[in-house]
Amino acid sequence: MPMTEEREMEKKKGRGFAKLALFLLIVAIVLGVSLYAFLDINPADVFIQGFNTVYNRAVEKGTQELTEKEKLILSYADNEPLSVAAVSGDLVVADKSSVRVFDMDGREKAYFAVNLKKPYVQSYKKDVLIADLDGNYIGVINEGMMLWEKNFEEEIVYAGLSENWVLLITKSKESGYKRSIRAWSRDGQEVSIRNISNYYPFAVHHYPQFDNATFVASGIDASGLEVNGFFEFLDPAMSQKGSIKGDQEILVKGASLKNNLLLYGEKSLILVDRQLKTIWEKKFTESRLTSVNVIDGKHPIIAELNMEAYSRENRSETYLKILNEDSSERHKLVIDDFVTGIVTKGRTAAVLAGSEVLFVNDDGDIMDTFTSKTDVLDVCLASNDLAYIVTSGGIIRVNVKVSHKFLGIF
């Protein structure tokens, strides 16, 4: 064989061995990262303790974590006022004297001393808002650090956190005004205020996915003989952009539905665009909406209480429906209980029904359930497969068994 051909074959073999070595190196790096990230095992232990020892540790730890579906994170007194939120996979717990941050294994990561009458916490991305809803205190923490805290002269009725905004409602001390809606920047500077004299606002929300320059205030008009709900749309300067009044019902809240906003009350479901024009509206006469949310940003999920069964038979029967974007029915489930809330994260919806939490996907499948000995008070979804569930006397972390289809096939 000519010398040039031999050299060419040797070069090809060399390149082949180099590619194989590079591939094996990538596999080793991926395995090392997986061991450290998911099982908290140092890859260097393979060389120190041997492959068999590390392999047995990985199998044991993996099996333990897979079988530990539920874990008690915190116990508390039944009569203790409490508020919780999930942030970056962790759990934030506020009581009268402290705000604490726990990881998913129940280890305390941060502690803040406070003095709150009615504690309230809410998270947005990596920020956490702390407020005293019957007092004057408000603060914002980020990754274990207090960014700022303040005390108001007026009593706080509502506090909310969103993209770049802290929104507040306070009891107005000015004569002739009922309450004040305030917009603050994320760093704690007041930007605008609107004093309300003609209705009682009880909440104000910001939906950046819908419109970054619109606040939505929910209120009650009690000026006439009947109490009625009221939505007021405000710009960042607190000038009114529009309003929607309920038809003898309380209008509660909204949720972003792609580029539109889904609003709901006791008897109404309304989808509006950014110009506040109604795209579609559904009325409910024989049922009442007890909770509404959106799965995966595109499918409304609603809880309808059967009023005939509730009033005549004193029995709670709820129709849980997942809708298409055009309001047509996509899936329907019947729940023999009163649904008090729906929390969503991605394609997972946690449905609170008495002492149970049903975890439902956007295909209408009940993927998993959690049952408590007492009524479930609150649920936080840290991710689509991790939930913190508040029951009477305890907070439990639950690893949710999800069954989402990949590309609608698997």
- Could you write out the DSSP letters of every residue in 218-233? EEEE-SSSS-EEEEEE
* Residue 137 confidence class, pLDDT cut points 50, 70, 90: very high
Is 291's pLDDT higher than 80?
Answer: yes
Q: What CATH number does residue 364 fall under?
A: 2.130.10.10
Among 214, 213, 301, CA closest to 257: 301
Edge-first strand order for the sheet with 287-295 is 287-295, 299-306, 318-323, 329-335
Taking residues 211-223, what's their average pLDDT?
A: 91
403 belongs to a structural domain: yes
- The confidence score (pLDDT) of residue 117 equals 95
| % of residues, the chain, pLDDT over 70 | 81
- The confidence score (pLDDT) of residue 228 equals 87
How many residues make up the chain in this entry? Answer: 410
Greater pLDDT, 138 or 62: 138
Is 23's pLDDT higher than 70?
Answer: no
SS3 content of the chain, % helix, strand, coil (to 5): 15, 50, 35
Per the CB < 8 A criterion, the answer to whether 261 and 279 are in contact is no
Is 375's pLDDT higher than 70?
Answer: yes
Q: Which two tokens stand for residue 11?
A: 């070069």
| pLDDT digit string, tens, across residues 302-336 | 999 999 998 888 899 999 999 999 999 999 999 99
pTM, entire model: 0.81
- The confidence score (pLDDT) of residue 342 equals 98
User: Domain tally for the chain?
Assistant: 1
Domain containing residue 342: 290-410
- The confidence score (pLDDT) of residue 295 equals 96
Q: Which two tokens stand for residue 388?
A: 């913190």
Q: Which two tokens stand for residue 291?
A: 């909770």
* Residue 120 confidence class, pLDDT cut points 50, 70, 90: very high
234 belongs to a structural domain: no
205 belongs to a structural domain: no
389 belongs to a structural domain: yes
* Strand spans (E) along 88-234: 90-94, 98-102, 108-113, 119-124, 127-132, 137-142, 145-151, 156-162, 165-171, 179-185, 190-196, 200-206, 215-221, 228-234
127 belongs to a structural domain: no
| % of residues, the chain, pLDDT over 90 | 70
Per the CB < 8 A criterion, the answer to whether 106 and 124 are in contact is no
Strands 299-306 and 98-102: unpaired
Indicate the average pLDDT of the chain.
87
Rank 9-13, 34-38, 215-219 by mean pLDDT and report only the highest.
Answer: 215-219
Taking residues 182-207, what's their average pLDDT?
A: 94
* Strand spans (E) along 186-267: 190-196, 200-206, 215-221, 228-234, 240-245, 251-257, 260-265
338 belongs to a structural domain: yes
362 belongs to a structural domain: yes
Q: Alpha helix (H) ranges present in 134-271?
A: none
Residue type, 187: D
- The confidence score (pLDDT) of residue 247 equals 82
Per the CB < 8 A criterion, the answer to whether 215 and 158 are in contact is no
86 belongs to a structural domain: no
Strands 376-383 and 366-371: unpaired
* Residue 251 confidence class, pLDDT cut points 50, 70, 90: confident
Is 222's pLDDT higher than 70?
Answer: yes
Is 104's pLDDT higher than 60?
Answer: yes
